[in-house]
Structure 1
């Protein structure tokens, strides 16, 4: 049986993985700190990597998923 890392399994409550949850949490925190202004991706990445090991492409994939299909 193949074993999956626990961080890649979506939570049954809302379908978010641990990485996605951390990104959303940090995004909300930074938006509050910045008075509701947009958060630069580099700033978000810097804060997220303090909590989880994630690459820039992984963060971009998560952000793209949050935005949804464009077109």
Structure 2
């Protein structure tokens, strides 16, 4: 059975029962973790993270900042 666009959209915003994360939040955290590993634990510039997240999810830069705030991901204040 094919998944409709409406069902796909719901899957993007409904939190998973296991950990309360949405698919988009999980992707952001995964990409952040993998990029930090590539940078040997250094902080990941938001622009770099945004570019990599766009490979998985279509979102604006403002949306990414909202997700990062909700997830408690803090920058270095620059």
With the length of structure 2 as denominator, give the TM-score of the two structures: 0.78
Higher relative contact order (CA 8 A, sep 6+): 1
Q: Tell me the residue number matched to 2:64.
A: 59
Q: d(CA) in 1 for partners of 2:31 and 2:11?
A: 20
CA RMSD of aligned residues (A): 1.6
Q: Number of residues paired by the alignment?
A: 66
Whole-angstrom CA distance in 2 between matches of 1:41 and 1:59: 9
Matches of 1:17 and 1:55 in 2, distance apart?
A: 17
TM-score by length of 1: 0.85
